[in-house]
Structure 1
Amino acid sequence: MSGIPVGLSTASVYPEKLEDAFRYAAETGYDGVELMVWHEGASQDIANVAGLSMRYDVPVLSVHAPCLLISQRVWGPDPMAKLGRAVTAAEDLGADTVVVHPPFRWQRRYAENFVDLVSELEDDSHVAIAVENMFPMRLDAFF
């Protein structure tokens, strides 16, 4: 790998499965994958993910924490605990980055502690936390 690594998001192959993402990344020459931790149980099982990474010789470059509406209950309801667990998963998988979205408006406690939490998690690990912006979400647009 030279230059900036290019990863394939495992979410990009949906509705296909996690293993398909690793296979596609291997077949098409990606440098690795971004693991989207979400409703698919295989994405939540870090030992399984490590096995797929070894099987296809495709490293996990980053872990996307389960912080979206579609992953609200993945790894429990506490967004702070989920971010910490994502950092641990990244360490276990050899990934250098965790991707997370900023708190939603209704996550006031999380929002109040978000900057300090990110700083603390980065200080206590080798993992960088990338805060990825997102368009504003209005629930009434969906219902």
Structure 2
Amino acid sequence: MKVLYPGSFDPLTYGHLDLVQRASERFGDVIIAILDNPTKVPTFSIERRIQQINSSISNLQGIRVISYRGLTVQCAKKYKVDLILRGLRAMSDFEYELQIAHTNRTLDNSIETIFLATESHHSFLSSSVVKEVALFGGKVDHMVPPIVATDLYQINNKNK
């Protein structure tokens, strides 16, 4: 079974990796799809995020990283996936993610979405929280893989 895990991954967190690993164990073939959203200014380029993710998943099998523009359902169709994977941290995530899942079904009812809850010790993690902690000089090593932490520290040292 092939699963598409879409997101910005800006930056990749241990919560994201938790879901990738568990999806890989359950479904085998996982495509991590980085949304290239022209309405947002990312911290890291698409190319750098691909490098960060590939470095962080090098010990896992059956996973590939792509980037895409446009609708997630179009990406899912292009790569012939069986399911779209979305992560949940808290009840507030569920409301938003359910809305997205329903919207995707109205666009293409052949595409199903599944939800996985992150492990509880990752439930506080979000990319925006990680970026804010790093911006103000806090440690993020326990929140993100080493390559991402290094990149965040380098960016924030340049901005001082």
TM-score (norm 1): 0.39
| Structure with the higher fraction of residues in strand conformation | 2
Higher relative contact order (CA 8 A, sep 6+): 2
TM-score (norm 2): 0.35
